[in-house]
């Protein structure tokens, strides 16, 4: 299967800060690929190099089997980008935003109108077409940015934190649309720090931190490998529990007020914990991508 | 330093974006060039007329209002172009992130920069055209040569738009535009033969006026409106062309440095 993106040994330095520190990955055609990481991990910097906005310090980027440093114009004509910042044109209406943007791709006016109508319909913005961007809600703005990034019928869609700051309703609406686009065969690269979003949408993902890739795999695969199918959270752990865990070499994170046990395979451990150590509260649940993320990137605050 | 493949006719799409927003508020955009000359004519034609007599310029006598009329157009060209590529472009670049959005399309940074400059010149030429109509109605413009003020305004617009965008490329915050305005625009406005002939200046001060692009624009505007001049017109045209080319190049270099990280 052809690779729609091929990144090899990519570096980006800002003065003495290495924002992207030698990452390599590929994205297959039709794949929904996630780039996860805490704030400042280097996601946006990577994305910006992917669509030719910023030149890499070192490394090779091939998009749609072309070299971004040489064929940037051809590549940009075939991809859609949804930037982290709101780059909509506040001087223009909702519809004008789409039509003027279509002009940047040299799409003929008639065709641009047809596509704008389709996209406004698809993103439930038809009744706001003459509204000013400033009068839109956060959710509508995001949907309009998404609509705008699809105006050139891209083969690849690049999304930088498309749902950050949205309320749950808006977020689910965006996910719903993205799932429809995925079903239509569009290749997508998504950055996010919502694990639920990544679990739901991504076929495969990498977790990056400090500009390096920590792990790569499908969400289910990563959960099995780094958190386990079952997780037990124990509130108010005592010394007896700690001794027990040590004696039995159970993989766990000790947060002081809480202990989290990973991959506690079999009922034996669950029963032992339930019978002996659940003084305050115990939660028996499935492992999640959030467990994986926090285990790999740590629990300290970023930025 | 500048990639030639990055410059194409596509810049017209960005120019078009500015035209669309201009049309949204075209009434406001037309009022200033319509009313400004009327205000000046009222102030100088009525208020000044007893104090300042006729002006000797280029070997002929002109009423003071007739003398300053072409300079009003030239000054409007400077203001329209310079303010467009300083404050307005800065807002688009920094606050609205309009250029970031454009850079996710087949447009290049070079095309965006050229479009901003060409747009500012277009806006200047539109303003000059309106002012020409108003001043012409009062008999301050000789037609048909006066019509050439419109292409001249476009050239002047490129010059001032380019230097404005160069400042946008180097200025840290929007408030700091006060500095080039105080050091560059205001002295030029006062000493470019706008309100009195440069031939009235002491000898030591003349080279300063000659270095000002506005001076050359004023001179050429007077030539087209009044049929008189003090400098060699061809040299003024060459000066404006060289100035435009130099600052377009500098704007390309510094705006790229600012935007591409
Ligand atoms: N233009 C820039 N100049 C200097 N440092 C930058 C620039 N852009 C990003 N950085 C730094 O690079 C690091 C990665 O940033 P970014 O890619 O935006 O992270 P993320 O998108 O994962 O939150 C951060 O430490 C950030 O401060
Ligand atoms: Mg980011």
Write the DSSP assignment of B56-97 as a string of letters: EETTEEE-HHHHHHHHHHHHHHHHHHHHIIIIIHHIIIIIS-
CB B141 within 8 A of CB B69: yes
CB B186 within 8 A of CB B175: no
Instruction: Say whether B105 and A73 touch across the interface (CB within 8 A).
Output: no
**CA–CA distances in Å: residue A208 to residues A53, A243, B228, B236:** 20, 34, 70, 59
pLDDT band at A265 (very low <50, low <70, confident <90, very high): low
Other CB atoms within a 10 A radius of the CB of residue A155 amount to 18
Nearest by CB to residue B96, choosing from A73, A89, A152, is: A89
| Ligand 1 neighbour A35 (Cβ under 6 A) | no
Identify whether B31 is part of a domain. yes
Write the DSSP assignment of B163-192 as a string of letters: HHHHHHHH-SSGGGGHHHIIIIIHHHHHHS
Structure tokens at A11: 């570096």
- Number of structural domains (chain B) is 1
- Report the nearest-CA residue for atom 8 of ligand 1: A45
| CA–CA dist B70, B230 (Å, integer) | 14
Nearest by CB to residue B13, choosing from A53, A104, A152, is: A104
Instruction: Say whether B101 and A103 touch across the interface (CB within 8 A).
Output: no
pTM: 0.93
pLDDT greater at residue A165 or residue A81: A81
- pLDDT for A249 equals 80
- The pLDDT mean for chain A works out to 91
User: Choosing among B104, B257, B261, which should be mutated to test the A contact, i.e. which has the most A CBs within 10 A?
Assistant: B104
What residues form DSSP beta bridges with A27?
A5
The tens-digit pLDDT sequence of chain B (261 residues) is 677 889 999 999 999 999 999 988 888 888 888 888 888 888 877 777 677 788 888 889 999 889 999 999 999 999 999 999 999 999 999 999 999 999 999 999 999 999 999 999 999 999 999 999 999 999 999 999 999 999 999 999 999 999 999 999 999 999 999 999 999 999 999 989 898 888 888 888 888 889 999 999 999 999 999 999 988 999 999 999 999 999 999 999 999 999 998
pLDDT digits (tens, 9 = 90+) for A148-206: 999 999 999 999 999 988 889 889 999 999 999 999 999 999 999 889 999 999 999 99
Distance in Å, CA A289 to ligand 2 centroid: 19
Nearest 5°: the CA angle A252, A289, A203 is: 145
Distance in Å, CA A45 to ligand 1 centroid: 6
What residues form DSSP beta bridges with A3?
A28
Structure tokens at B116: 């901003």
Pairing relationship of beta strands A187-192 and A156-160 according to DSSP bridges: parallel
| Ligand 1 neighbour A41 (Cβ under 6 A) | yes
Q: What range does the domain containing B255 cover?
A: 4-45+55-259
DSSP code at position B183: I
Structure tokens at B30: 């037309």
Rounded to an integer, the average pLDDT of A279-288 is 84
Report residue A259: phi and psi, to 5°.
-120, 135
In the block, tokens 């010059």 appear at B159
Instruction: Tell me the chain A residues in contact with residue B101 when contact means C-beta distances shorter than 8 Å.
Output: 83, 87-89, 101
Contact map slice: A 10-69 vs B, CB within 8 A:
14, 51, 53-55
Domains and CATH numbers, chain A: 3-223 (3.40.50.300), 228-287 (3.30.70)
CB B153 within 8 A of CB B128: yes
Q: Is the peptide bond before A87 cis (omega within 30 degrees of 0)?
A: no
pLDDT band at A267 (very low <50, low <70, confident <90, very high): low
| Exposure on the CB side of residue B166, measured as CA atoms within 13 A | 15
Instruction: Tell me the chain B residues in contact with residue A152 when contact means C-beta distances shorter than 8 Å.
Output: 105
- Model confidence at A263: pLDDT above 70: no
Identify whether B50 is part of a domain. no
Which residue in B131, B145, B139 sits closest to B227, CA to CA? Answer: B145
């Amino acid at each position: 299967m052809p690779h729609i993106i091929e990144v090899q040994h990519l570096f980006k330095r800002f003065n003495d800060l290495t924002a992207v520190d030698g990452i390599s990955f590929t994205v297959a055609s039709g794949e929904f690929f996630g780039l996860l990481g805490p704030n400042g991990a280097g996601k946006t910097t990577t994305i910006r190099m992917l669509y030719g906005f910023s030149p890499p310090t070192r490394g090779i980027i091939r998009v749609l089997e072309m070299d971004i440093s040489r064929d940037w114009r051809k590549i940009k004509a075939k991809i859609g980008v949804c930037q982290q910042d709101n780059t909509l044109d506040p001087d223009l209406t909702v519809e004008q935003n789409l039509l003027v943007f279509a002009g940047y791709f040299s799409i003929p006016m008639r065709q641009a109108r047809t596509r704008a109508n389709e996209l406004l319909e698809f993103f439930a913005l038809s009744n706001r077409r003459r509204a000013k961007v400033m009068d839109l809600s956060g959710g509508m703005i995001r949907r309009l940015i998404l609509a705008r990034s699809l105006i050139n019928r891209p083969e690849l869609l690049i999304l930088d934190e498309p749902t950050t700051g949205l309320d749950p309703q808006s977020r689910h609406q965006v996910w719903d649309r993205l799932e429809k686009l995925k079903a239509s065969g569009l290749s997508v690269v998504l950055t996010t720090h919502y694990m639920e979003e990544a679990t739901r949408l991504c076929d495969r993902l990498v977790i990056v931190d400090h500009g390096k890739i920590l792990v790569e795999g499908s969400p289910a695969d990563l959960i099995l490998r780094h958190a386990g199918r079952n997780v037990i959270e124990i509130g108010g752990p005592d010394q007896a529990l700690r001794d027990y865990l040590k004696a039995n070499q159970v993989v766990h994170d000790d947060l002081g007020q809480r202990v989290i046990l990973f991959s506690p395979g079999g009922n034996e451990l669950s029963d032992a914990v339930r019978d002996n150590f659940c003084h305050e509260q115990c939660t028996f649940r499935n492992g999640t991508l959030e467990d994986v993320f926090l285990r790999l990137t740590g629990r300290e605050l970023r930025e | 330093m500048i990639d030639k493949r990055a410059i194409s006719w596509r810049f017209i799409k960005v120019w078009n974006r500015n035209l669309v927003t201009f049309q949204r508020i075209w009434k406001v955009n037309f009022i200033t060039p319509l009313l400004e000359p009327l205000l000046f004519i009222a102030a100088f034609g009525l208020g000044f007329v007893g104090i300042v007599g006729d002006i000797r310029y280029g070997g002929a006598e002109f009423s003071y209002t007739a003398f300053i009329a072409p300079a009003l157009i030239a000054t409007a060209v400077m203001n329209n172009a310079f303010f467009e590529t300083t404050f307005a472009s800065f807002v688009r670049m920094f606050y609205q992130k309009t250029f970031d959005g454009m850079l996710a399309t087949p447009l290049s940074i070079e095309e965006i920069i050229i479009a901003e400059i060409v747009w500012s010149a277009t806006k200047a030429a539109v303003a000059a055209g309106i002012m020409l109509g108003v001043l012409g109605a009062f008999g301050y413009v000789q037609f048909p040569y006066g019509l050439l003020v419109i292409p001249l305004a476009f050239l002047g617009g490129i010059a001032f738009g380019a230097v404005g965008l160069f400042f946008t490329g180097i200025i840290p915050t929007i408030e700091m535009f006060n500095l080039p305005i105080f050091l560059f625009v205001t002295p030029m406005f006062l000493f470019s033969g706008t309100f009195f002939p440069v031939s009235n200046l002491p000898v030591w001060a003349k080279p300063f006026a000659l270095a000002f692009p506005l001076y050359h624009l004023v001179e050429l505007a007077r030539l087209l409106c009044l049929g008189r001049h003090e400098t060699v017109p061809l040299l003024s045209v060459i000066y404006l062309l060289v100035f435009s080319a130099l600052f377009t190049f500098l704007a390309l270099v510094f705006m790229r440095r600012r935007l591409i990280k």
